[in-house]
Structure 1
Amino acid sequence: MDFAQVFEHVARVIESVGVAIMAVGLAVVLLRYAYDVLRKGTGSYQQLRVNLGRVILLGLEILIVGDIIRTVIVATTLENVVVLGLIVVIRTVLSFALEVEISGAWPWQQHRTNGRDAA
């Protein structure tokens, strides 16, 4: 097994971990929501969305790592680099959108929503 094949497998493992985190995280978030509904009689839909968004963000970040490893080490062609760039841009936009959805502010405006600016 040569260098490229080893890192192809490493990239697959990393991507599998990202997908597993999203799948297991979804199950845990939904089970926690169902538990709250059964225990309290009502569940927090907002908390469900926040927790699900966090799981998706974590999974996306790990998937980006796998894509970078695959493109930079395994298959460095102009076409693959362009595809990687598009994938990273799309996932970054999704990450920002999810962050805004979770926190209600852009990442660089977090200090305003955390109350540190309240003077």
Structure 2
Amino acid sequence: MHTEPLFAVVVTVIEVIGVLIVIIGFGIAAVLATRVLRRGAGGKVAYQTLRTTIGGSILLGLEVFVAADIIHTLSAPSFEDAAVLGLIVLIRTVLSMSIQIEIEGTLPWRRALLTSGGEVVANAISQEAAARK
């Protein structure tokens, strides 16, 4: 049974979904930023809303594209295809990480210290260190 045509259709559908995610995300970002601007929150807040929402849709779109690439590689596996997939995943991972850092303003491994759970752990560690002195 030849599954390559089926895989090609599935990959194409997933890639179209990825493109739609980015396009719809851009539209939602524009609407949200416009609403924030109309409420009088200011241009800076509207810009941050636009930037964060677009960045999130791009990140989600990239994840969908990686899934499509994985399925494409599974359709006709070869060493060359696996190497190309590895390179694509590496590039998209670096790109995703860069976008995430840009959106959140912090490194992913430092994000835990900025959240409530991380604050609790950090406070507990600092209190323990103070008690030892």
- TM category (shorter chain) comes to 0.7 to 0.9
The higher radius of gyration belongs to 2
1:41 deviates by: 6.4
Matches within 5 A, 1:66-85: 66-72=68-74, 74-85=75-86
1:38 deviates by: 2.8
Partners of 2:107 and 2:39 in 1: CA distance: 34
Give ranges in structure 2 of 5+ residues lacking alignment: 124-133
1:105 deviates by: 2.0
Q: What residue is the counterpart of 1:42 in the other structure?
A: 42
Q: Check conservation: 2:32, 2:49, Cα contact below 8 A.
A: no
Q: In the alignment, does 2:61 pair up with 1:59?
A: yes
Calculate percent identity across the aligned residue pairs. 40
Q: What residue is the counterpart of 1:95 in the other structure?
A: 96
Q: What residue is the counterpart of 2:110 in the other structure?
A: 109
Residues 81-105 of structure 1 deviation map (CA, whole Å, 9 limit, x = unaligned): 2221111111000111111112222
Partners of 2:41 and 2:115 in 1: CA distance: 30
Q: What residue is the counterpart of 1:19 in the other structure?
A: 19
Q: How many residues align?
A: 118
Q: What residue is the counterpart of 1:28 in the other structure?
A: 28
1:113 deviates by: 1.3
**Equivalent AA in structure 2 for residue 83 of structure 1:** V
**Equivalent AA in structure 1 for residue 6 of structure 2:** V
SS in 2 for 1:70: helix
Give ranges in structure 1 of 5+ residues lacking alignment: none
Partners of 2:37 and 2:49 in 1: CA distance: 12
Deviates more, 1:51-60 or 1:36-45: 36-45
Q: What residue is the counterpart of 1:6 in the other structure?
A: 6
CA RMSD in angstroms, aligned pairs only: 1.8
Normalised to the residue count of structure 1, the TM-score between the two structures is 0.87
1:106 deviates by: 2.1
